[in-house]
Structures are given as structure tokens and as C-alpha cells.
Amino acid sequence: MTNDTLRPAPVALALVVTALLTLALPAGADHDPEPRANIELGLEGPLRGAGPVSGYGFFLWNRPHFIEEHWYLRVIVAPVYLTSELIRDHWPAEGHAVGVGLGGGFFAYNFDEFRVGSREERESFWGHGGEVTLTYYRWIRLLDALPVEGQLRLRPQYAVYQRTDDTDPRFRLPADTPIYSARVGVRVGGEPPELQPLVSFEASAWSEVSYRVHADPFGRPEREEATEHFSNRVWGRLGGAITPFPGHTARVFLTAGTIANPDALTAFRVGSALPFRREFPLILRGYHVDEVFARSFWLVNLSYRFPLWPRSERVGLVLAADYARVDYLPGHELPRRDLRGVGADLSIALTADVTLMLGYGYGLDAPRGSTVGGHELHGLLELKF
């Protein structure tokens, strides 16, 4: 639903609130050796154009040495979704580990259709499901300091699709189906799951093959979209954050990816200023959430945080710029292949463990009706316990 079509009826309002608080992070987060208990909230909506109000709300609980020394537990709980992973470290030998995870709930497989910058409510739908993850890890340290993680993950899933109140009655939903995925990758370093990490470095490369058992076409009779049985996504990420002066943080990331046998359900989705919607967020400020359908892309994210006034320790300003070069999924092209976004966030440390960020993004190349230029507002709240 877009912000123009929210209705005050109790059932519709409950569905909207539930959808906004649905977890968007998949279970495949990196190994985290630090104990954490964080609440993360995010909300984003457009100021211009027919786009959705989107958000997340979840509790992240990470416990190294859970029960015994070499056991790790990671749980992410949202109102209608849960993911978890239990890891046995140092097995079958030193530097090796295995993990098993469970996840499931509502709205994790939602699909929003966009066409030339406008959300097509009549062709959007909900998706629910569950999954199991089986993972083998290989961990080493370079120079006894920089962590390196190798990963092999098997991820059987089951997806069920449902109409929203606005879905066209003639619209054919994708077939409910098992989906079997296998991922292999390596990560050097890593970025902690925090709104404003002061220092970080990450270099990673990944390949994920998926098989969809039922791959029937979906869509309106006059505009059906094919789905593929097999897809192969390959992507990588390089960047980090540094603190050149007290209170200042510079952050830069380059992300690139491509997919073989893409379709609308597996294409890379670019757009949004919300950082925790996915394990590998594709941030592009000023654009609707998941507005861009890419079969290949590269994306640069730059930001710089500094005190709003001299010696200000609690209030800072974050200036950001994003640039993407996109090869679109056929049938989902935008007028321009080069997409630019800029934004500004006001960062307020309410306490040492509570951070509030309020921001604005402008998409310089986002199509909006007969003109170009997208505006969005977002808010983020982080509570650490």
C-alpha cells in the first residue's frame, strides 16, 4: 500500500502496522563475536510520487559462548518473523564451525511492482514463508588481526503468495513453491550491525545458486512475467569506515553484482535509505524502496559525519551521496542508467546507547510523473542494551 491509500479501517491499519514492523533481514548474517542486544527501528516514506511507506522493527540478540564456550547463538525477532542460527565453533577442528538456523513468518517474500518510478498497487502482492539454513564456516586471521570468513550455506525455503486488498482480481500470483539455494563466499573483515560504526573494513565476494521448483508465469493476462527455475547471483562488496578526527567518520562502500537467468522475483532490488532491510543493503537515497530492478549493477555509497557545531558530542550531521550504474531487468527499465542520490541525516545520541537519526534523500534521476526528482524522508532508532 502507498501512503496515499492507507485507510483507517481497523483490519487495514493492523495490516499496515504489521507490514511496517516486519523483519527484512535474512538469516545469513556474518559471524559476530561480540555480545549484542539491539532494537533497530526504521521507517521511510516518499514526499513525491506513488511509492510505499516501508520500514522494519526487530530485536537482535547475539550471544557468543552461549551455554558453553564454543557455542554461538544469533536471534532476530520481529513482530511477525523470526530468524535464528546456532553455531558450533571449533568443529570438526580448530578454525572450522557449523551452524543450523530456522526462520519463518509473514511478509518476508512481499513483492512491490514499480514501473517508471510509480508503484503499481494492482500488481503487487504479499509473500510469506519459512526456511532452514545449514552452514559450514572456515575462519582464519590474517596477521593475527584481520578476520577472514569462508562460508558454504544451504538454504531450503518455502514461499506462499497472497493478494493484498489492492491486487487486481485478474492478477495471477506466482505459484507457491519450495526454493533451494546454495551460497559460497568469503568475507575479509566485516561491518558490525550498528547505525554508525566508527571503524570498519570489509571485502567480500559471493555466489548464490537458487532453484525454484514451480516457475509458472505470474501477472495480469496482458502483462505476464516469466519466472526462472534456476538463477545464479554473483556480487561483491568493498569498503569501510574511518574516524580521521574525533567526532568525524568517513564511510565509503562499493557494491557490484550480476545475475544469470534473472526474473522479477530474483533481480537485485536497489533503492531506499534504510540500512538493515537486507544482509547486503543496496542504498540509493531519494528512490522508493526496491524501486530499481537490476540484472547487473555497481553502486557507490559515500557519507561523512561531523559535529553539528564545534565540540558537539551528541549531535552530528551526516552528508551522503550515492551513485549507481544499472543494467535493468527487461520490462523494468528507467529512463536513465546512471542513478544519483544525495541525502542528509541529523544524528542525535540521546544517551550513550540510544541513537536517533532523521534524514532526507533526493534522487536526482528518479522518474516522478513527467519530471525527474524523488524526495523521501526516513527515521532510524537504535537502542543498545
CATH number at residue 243: 2.40.160.50
Written as nine digits, the cell of 251 is 564511510
Domain of residue 91: give its range.
10-384
Residue 27: which of 175, 169, 157 has the closest Cα? 157
Residue 4 lies in a domain: no
Residue 213 lies in a domain: yes
Q: What is the pLDDT of residue 31?
A: 63
What's the predicted TM-score (pTM) here? 0.88
CB hemisphere CA count around 240 (13 angstroms): 13
* pLDDT surpassing 60 at residue 19: no
Under the banding of pLDDT at 50, 70 and 90, the label for residue 257 is very high
Q: How many domains does the chain have?
A: 1
In percent, how much of the chain has pLDDT > 70? 91
Q: Say if residue 151 is exposed, middle or buried (CB neighbours under 10 Å; 0-12, 13-18, 19+).
A: buried
User: Cell 534523500, residue?
Assistant: 361
Give 333-345 pLDDT, tens digit per residue: 999 999 999 999 9
Confidence of residue 52 (pLDDT cuts 50, 70, 90): confident
- Within-domain flag for 26: yes
Separation between Cα atoms, residue 232 and residue 219, nearest integer Å: 23
Residue 305 falls inside a structural domain: yes
How far, rounded to the nearest angstrom, does the alpha carbon of residue 291 sit from its chain's CA centroid? Answer: 13
2 part of a folded domain: no
Q: What's the rounded Cα separation, in Å, for the pair 266 and 255?
A: 17
Residue 9: its pLDDT value, please?
38
Q: How confident is the model at residue 369 (pLDDT cuts 50, 70, 90)?
A: confident
Q: Does 1 reside within a domain?
A: no
pLDDT digits (tens, 9 = 90+) for 166-210: 999 999 999 999 999 999 999 999 999 999 999 999 999 999 999
For residue 47, pLDDT over 90 is answered with no
Specify if 5 maps to a domain. Answer: no
Cell of 363: 534522487
Instruction: Kindly indicate the confidence band of residue 30, based on its pLDDT and cuts at 50, 70 and 90.
Output: low
> Is 238 domain-assigned?
yes
347 is written with which cell numbers?
544524528
